[in-house]
Amino acid sequence: MVKEKIHPADKSDEVLSDVKEIILYNDDFNTFDFVIDTLMDLCKHDLEQAEQCALIVHHKGKCAVKSGSYTELKPICTEMLIRNLTAEIE
């Protein structure tokens, strides 16, 4: 009789599935300066990173602007929505 070894689930898969991202979407009413200032304030981007994300959002329609756990991202995403940005956690 052949015995099969059962391996516990790989913890790295579990950790990777817990990593979420805030996706910021393009809109037609917020200015580049407002988006840049918001990314610097809420996501703690430096000026260059915030500018690059704003350009990606403008040209591609969306950009992942922050990654982390859902618990960490929820208040940031909520504040983005309060500031009338279009964002979601994926």
Give kind and range of the element (H or E) at residue 84.
Answer: none
Kindly state whether residue 45 falls inside one of the protein's structural domains.
yes
Give me the number of domains the chain comprises. 1
> Does 4 map to a domain?
no
Assess if residue 21 is contained within a domain: no
Asked if 58 and 74 count as a contact pair (C-beta separation under 8 A), the reply is no
Tell me the per-residue pLDDT of 35-82, one tens digit each, with 9 for 90 and over. Answer: 999 999 999 999 999 999 999 999 999 999 999 999 999 999 999 999
Q: Which comes out higher in pLDDT, residue 14 or 75?
A: 75
Residue 84, in any domain of the structure:
yes
CA atoms of 83 and 4, how far apart (whole Å): 56
Asked whether residue 52 is assigned to any structural domain, the reply reads: yes
- Residue 67 falls inside a structural domain: yes
